[in-house]
């Protein structure tokens, strides 16, 4: 039986991670829930195990096989070395450890398994960063499109929900919506801008979140996962006035025209749900609770043969928290094969 600690257990991502672990082969593990002062003392549950959220103490990571960090980046920076020193493998969902020597960015869905692909884990791996779900989705889609024909250019507009920035951002978006409808002043502590009923490519000077930093993280994770295998897309991030779910508008141009059916065949497969009907368009609501990425292909009609295209749009949607938690669990399952089991002879 593995022993697993979740640091940041009361966060949105922490709650999603607990659900993903409960549905995984790690569900039989013994769990310890940790958090800062705001989450301490709450009664919580992982699978059938009822427990409460504890403060992080000097010995909190002793005898832990895995420690998931899904709270603030500051929490990760302060405590991750303590977890490693205690013998635990660290999985950093905050992205704070990206770029640290020996820390790998990983996504088993994309073929970065044990001994496979860029950033392969081995017996010396002590910490990994499960890739950001947007980087995972882009790698999966553009990597598969490239199987039909080389990608010349790709441009991505990503609409990020409030849940991307945590519970405080969701609460502020909700309160702004309520206040606008009742003609009251807007709370601006998180966005320092009107986020409700609005699309934002930048936030106020006093905003507690940064779209540019998130954009850089997604681009960095995508590059680390691809290892030069995929095209480098132009990425533009917008804050959308929705609570949950990533949506992507992706313009792709191939080196040559190919049959539309070839692109559809390349996209189809595990973890991607290719939507063929216009009436069933992917959306952030439709993706909620799903582990698959929903995608709709729309060709840019050109030339005399409409069955062959070199330029097309992808409209995609995914459950950002679900994909993040699922990728982290898959990383832990992969890494579990590297941990010693039973007495050493």
Residue 306: the pLDDT is: 66
CA distance 57 to 231: 44
Mean predicted confidence (pLDDT) in 166-194 = 96
**Domains of the chain: which residue ranges?**
3-130+325-336, 135-320
Selected residue with higher pLDDT from 337 and 209: 209
pLDDT tens per residue across span 273-326:
999 877 788 999 999 999 999 999 999 876 566 678 899 999 999 999 999 999
Residue 38 CA, chain-centre distance (Å), reads 24
* pLDDT at residue 118 is higher than 60: no
pLDDT tens per residue across span 134-151:
999 999 999 999 999 999
Helix (H) or strand (E) holding 17: helix 12-22
Residue 53: the pLDDT is: 83
Residue 297: the pLDDT is: 94
pLDDT interval class at 123 (50, 70, 90): low
CA distance 151 to 10: 41
Mean predicted confidence (pLDDT) in 31-58 = 75
CA distance 184 to 10: 30
**Six token digits for residue 225:** 């996962």
CA distance 101 to 81: 13
CA distance to 62, 83, 287, 332, per residue, from 18 (Å): 20, 19, 19, 13
* pLDDT at residue 202 is higher than 90: yes
pLDDT interval class at 74 (50, 70, 90): very high
Mean predicted confidence (pLDDT) in 63-84 = 94
| Rounded percentage of the chain residues whose pLDDT exceeds 70 | 89
Coil, helix or strand at residue 168? helix
**Six token digits for residue 117:** 């692909």
- From the list 342, 338, 340, 292, the residue with the least C-alpha distance to 128 is 338
Task: Give domain 3-130+325-336's CATH architecture.
Answer: 3-Layer(aba) Sandwich (3.40)
CA distance 132 to 120: 17
Mean predicted confidence (pLDDT) in 166-179 = 96
Least confident of 17-31, 162-176, 259-273, 301-315: 301-315
- Residues whose CB is less than 8 angstroms from the CB of residue 48 and which lie 6 or more positions away in sequence, other chains included: none
Q: What angle do CA 270, 276, 282 make, to 5 degrees?
A: 75
- From the list 244, 184, 196, 239, the residue with the least C-alpha distance to 214 is 239
CA distance to 96, 154, 168, 172, per residue, from 206 (Å): 21, 33, 15, 14
| Rounded percentage of the chain residues whose pLDDT exceeds 90 | 74
Residue 310: the pLDDT is: 92
Mean predicted confidence (pLDDT) in 113-122 = 51
Please give the torsion angle defined by the CA atoms of residues 272, 277, 278 and 279, in that order, rounded to the nearest 10 degrees.
-110
* pLDDT at residue 204 is higher than 80: yes
CA distance to 86, 164, 293, per residue, from 326 (Å): 25, 16, 12
CA distance 286 to 317: 8
Mean pLDDT for all residues in the chain: 89
Look-up of token digits 């549950």: 45
Q: What angle do CA 130, 36, 336 make, to 5 degrees?
A: 30
pLDDT interval class at 122 (50, 70, 90): low
pLDDT interval class at 341 (50, 70, 90): low
**Six token digits for residue 308:** 């062959």
Residue 276: the pLDDT is: 84
β-strands 151-160, 246-259 pairing: antiparallel
Look-up of token digits 């679900």: 322
57 phi/psi in degrees, rounded to 5: -105, 165
Q: Does domain 135-320 have CATH number 3.40.50.300?
A: no
Residue 227: the pLDDT is: 87
Least confident of 111-115, 255-259, 292-296: 111-115
* pLDDT at residue 113 is higher than 50: no
């Amino acid at each position: 039986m593995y022993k697993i600690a979740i640091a940041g257990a009361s966060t949105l991502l922490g709650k999603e991670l607990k659900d993903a672990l409960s549905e995984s082969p790690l569900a039989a593990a013994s769990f310890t829930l940790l958090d800062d002062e705001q989450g301490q003392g709450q009664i919580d549950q992982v699978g059938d195990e009822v427990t409460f959220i504890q403060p992080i103490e000097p010995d909190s990571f002793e005898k832990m096989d895995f420690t998931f960090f899904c709270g603030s980046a500051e929490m990760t920076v302060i405590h991750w070395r303590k977890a490693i020193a205690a013998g635990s493998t660290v999985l950093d969902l905050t992205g704070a450890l990206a770029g640290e020597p020996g820390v790998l960015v990983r996504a088993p869905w994309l073929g970065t398994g044990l001994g496979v692909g860029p950033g392969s884990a081995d017996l010396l791996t002590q910490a990994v960063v499960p890739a950001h779900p947007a980087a995972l989705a882009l790698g999966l889609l553009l990597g598969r499109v490239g199987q039909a024909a080389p990608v010349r250019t790709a441009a991505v507009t990503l609409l990020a929900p409030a849940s991307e920035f945590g519970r405080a951002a969701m609460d502020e978006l909700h309160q702004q919506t309520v206040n606008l409808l009742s003609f009251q002043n807007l709370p601006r502590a998180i966005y320092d801008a009107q986020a409700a009923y609005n699309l934002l490519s930048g936030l106020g000077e006093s905003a507690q979140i940064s779209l540019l930093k998130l954009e850089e993280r997604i681009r960095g994770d995508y590059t680390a996962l691809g290892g030069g295998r995929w095209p480098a897309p132009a990425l533009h991030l917008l804050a959308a006035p929705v609570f949950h779910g990533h949506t992507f508008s992706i313009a792709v141009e191939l080196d040559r025209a190919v049959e539309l059916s070839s692109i559809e065949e390349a996209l189809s497969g595990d973890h991607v749900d290719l939507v063929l009907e216009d009436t069933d368009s992917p959306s952030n609501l439709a993706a909620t609770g799903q582990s698959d990425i929903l995608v709709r292909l729309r060709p840019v009609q050109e030339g005399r043969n409409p069955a062959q295209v070199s330029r097309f749009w992808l409209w995609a949607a995914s459950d950002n928290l679900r994909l993040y938690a699922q990728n982290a669990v898959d990383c832990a399952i992969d890494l579990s094969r590297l941990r010693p089991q039973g007495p050493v002879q």
